[in-house]
Structure 1
Amino acid sequence: MSTDYQQAREALGVRLRELRLSSPHGRLTGTQLAKLLGWAQPKVSKLENGKQTATPEDLRSWAVATGQPDACDELLARLRGFESHIRSWRRQLASGHKPVQDTHLAEHTSATVFRGWESSMIMGILQTPDYARHIFLRYAGLQQSPRDTEEAVRSRIKRQEALYDPTKRFHLIMWEAALRALVCPPAVLAAQLDRLAGAVGLDTVELGVIPFSASLKIPPATAFWMYDDTRVIVETWHSELWIEDAPSVSTYLRTWKTLRESAVYGADAQRIISTARQALRPA
């Protein structure tokens, strides 16, 4: 799927190529530029074709080597523009939810350490098929997108295979409200809570719950997901925000760690899940 992020990276590559070809010292080949920079030639090709994300130092070196140092500020502005980039739901969901789920599946395949915070529903990585089905149907209605519900459910459930990969670790926190939100029929939520209780025992999962009664250092606001502490994905009503610039990622990591201080784990988390489960039983 062509994303806003990839399109921005390709546009930067086009601009880099323009600078190489318009060097005041004479038109440079990729090989010549690579030699000037002390790089392997494939790196020049990858940057120009949007196959690799440039670092700020890459851009500064490129501008100087092509004899156009004044272009450096422009290049850095372009980079900042897509280090934190918006992927609109309108564009992403044009073909349904499955392509979005497949994108996240690919991210889960390549990363090893995950941190997540969710305040309003059970995290996708821990959802049952029935629960996920209701979530997709509700969002398809909201976004007026194609209903490829079963395909999206299968992709989301496939992502959960990572929970059983001993090389991966999931550090997850949810607010108690996420355990009680009736975004599906009570029977579906009951089964979901049973599934959640089982996840507490997985050796790859550290599952924390912030009780309603907990003292909070910060409000339990927007949900987010972190990959290897280098990328953050935040969902809003109109888009996904993919964040990769180090200062912003550090802010989310501090946020996660601050929320963690209010969470309970192990048997205490099990008790909160069990209490929410019991509240669903008919009087």
Structure 2
Amino acid sequence: MKLDPRQAGQSRRDLAAAIRNLRLASGLSGERLALRCGMSQSKVSRIETGRTLPSATDVQQILNALGVDDDTQEELISLARTANAEYQDVRASVRRGLHYRQRELASLETNAKRIRFFMPTLVTGLLQVPEYMRAAMSPPVDPASGDVSRAVAFKLERQSLLHDKSKRLEFVLTESAIRWRLCEPSVMALQLDHLVSVSRIPHVRLGVLPLSAPVGEGAYHTFTVYDRTLVTIEMFTGRVVLLDPKDIDHYQKLYSYFSERAAFDDDARSLLQGWAEGFRADG
């Protein structure tokens, strides 16, 4: 079964119905099934009615308790993974207004205590200076038709998060992301100076992964880990939200892997300052 995040809502309903039908076919009561798979009866009931979204692990436990054949198990576990993914279309956000996307991100950030950002391509909005921000929100290919000025204002407002001492914010940026010439050299130098300043905020940890570092894992895409709750993956046309604990655990490990190979503190600032001077020389 192909994983298609856009089908997550239908998959959730199909999964709930399939689990309920399998239990009924087995002749087990909800209480007996709950005992067999080590869950509460209320949780089994909520899964069957679609009020609770089960993880792939939950589904595996239920199917093992029901004695389901391997092919059915594989199909339903794949369905569970699809149900635990949500696709958010960028174009839909633009139709509502670019600032709505900033509100959505602000909501995620408000509810999390520890947020980890991995950026292999561009500097994230929380770290952008206004000039860089405008360039990032006005791409030459399929430019957004929304109110860029209003979106920039919301983005700058979101940056107050950097000074919220109740949060722990961690960033790993690759050299490619930092030095990608999105703007003219003077703006790029200003952007790098800003990264140096942010790196000095006590509850912010900012790392730089230079191209000279040996890294055995590919930096395929931007991702953000919110606590142990969810992961977002950025693409050109949208964002995928992952909710399955196994997916979240995988991305936590990925972040740790990249973080362990990055430069931090004075080492990171030395790299940033050197690249900033290079941009100034080009300007």
Shorter-chain TM-score: what band? 0.7 to 0.9
In structure 1, the partner of 2:241 is 242
Deviation at 1:121, TM superposition (A): 1.6
Shift of 1:77: 5.6
Equivalent residue, structure 1, for 2:132: 131
**TM, length-normalised to structure 1:** 0.75
Q: CA RMSD in A?
A: 3.8
Deviations 1:37-78 (A, max 9, x none): 99899x9899968x7645569889999xxxxx9x99987665
Q: How many residues align?
A: 271
> Contact 2:224/2:233 (CA < 8 Å) preserved in 1?
yes
Whole-Å separation in 1 of the counterparts to 2:254 and 2:97: 32
1:277 is aligned to 2:276: yes
- Corresponding residue number in structure 2 for 1:27: none
Task: Give the unaligned 5+ runs of structure 2.
Answer: none
Q: 1:154 to 1:39 in 2, by over 3 A?
A: farther
The offset of 1:256, in angstroms, is: 1.2
Say whether the 8 Å CA contact 2:225–2:231 is kept in structure 1.
Answer: yes
Give distance in 1, aligned partners of 2:155 and 2:146: 15
| Paired residues of 2:11 and 2:82 also in contact (CA < 8 A) | no
- 1:87 positional shift: 2.1
- Seen in structure 2, the aligned counterparts of structure 1 residues 261 and 76 have a Cα distance that, compared at 3 Å, is closer
Contact 1:105–1:155 at 8 Å: present in 2 too?
no
Q: Distance in 1 between matches of 2:137 and 2:183?
A: 11
Deviation by residue 1:18-38 (Cα, 9 ceiling, x = unmatched): 999xx99xxxxxxxx99xx99
- Could you tell me which residue of structure 2 aligns to residue 109 of structure 1? 110
Deviation for aligned residue 1:118: 0.7
Paired residue secondary structure (1:281): helix
1:54 to 1:221, Cα distance in 2 relative to 1, 3 A: closer
Q: Which amino acid aligns with 1:91?
A: A
Give the residue type in structure 1 aligned to 2:135: H
Residues 46 and 154 (structure 1), Cα distance of their counterparts in 2 relative to 1, 3 Å cut: farther
Do the aligned residues in 1 keep the contact of 2:53 with 2:84 (CA within 8 Å)?
no
What CA distance in whole angstroms lies between the structure 2 residues aligned with 1:218 and 1:13?
Answer: 36
1:123-142 Cα deviation digits (max 9, x unpaired): 2211112211110011xx43
**Residues 16 and 264 (structure 1), Cα distance of their counterparts in 2 relative to 1, 3 Å cut:** closer
Q: Deviations over 1:132-190 (max 9, x none)?
A: 1110011xx43443232112112222222121111110111111122211111222222
Q: Does 1:207 align with 2:199?
A: no
In the TM superposition, 1:70-85 aligns within 5 A as 78-85=79-86
Residue of structure 1 equivalent to 2:264: 265
Task: Give the Å deviation of 1:200.
Answer: 0.9
Q: Name the SS for the 2:225 alignment partner.
A: strand
Q: Are residues 214 and 99 of structure 1, via their aligned partners in 2, closer, same or farther at CA, if it must alter by over 3 Å?
A: same
Residues 209 and 265 of structure 1 are in contact (CA less than 8 Å); yes or no, is this contact kept in structure 2?
Answer: yes
- 2:88 matched to which residue of 1? 87
Rounded Cα–Cα distance in structure 2 between residues aligned with 1:94 and 1:279: 39
Q: Is the 8 A contact 1:13 1:47 kept in 2?
A: no
Counterpart secondary structure, 1:280 = helix
CA contact (8 A) 2:6 2:87 kept: no
1:160 has 2:163 as partner: no
Shift of 1:210: 1.1
Q: 2: distance between equivalents of 1:281 and 1:150?
A: 27
249-258 or 164-173, which moves further after superposition? 249-258
State the one-letter code of the partner of 1:214: A
Residue 281 and residue 232 in structure 1: after superposition, are their counterparts in 2 closer, same or farther (change >3 A)? same
Call closer, same or farther: CA 1:274–1:250 in 2, change over 3 Å. Answer: same
SS at match of 2:279: coil
State the TM-score, normalized to the length of structure 2. Answer: 0.75
Cα distance in structure 2, aligned partners of 1:18 and 1:181: 48
Distance 1:101 1:116 in 2: 16
Identity %: 23
Cα distance in 2 between the residues matched to 1:252 and 1:211: 20
Distance verdict in 2 for CA 1:92–1:7, change over 3 Å: farther
User: Aligned letter for 1:278?
Assistant: E
Distance 1:218 1:74, change over 3 A: closer
- Could you say if the C-alpha distance between residues 124 and 75 of structure 1 is closer, same or farther in structure 2, counting changes exceeding 3 Å? same
Q: 1:57 to 1:117 in 2, by over 3 A?
A: closer
Q: Distance in 2 between matches of 1:221 and 1:78?
A: 24
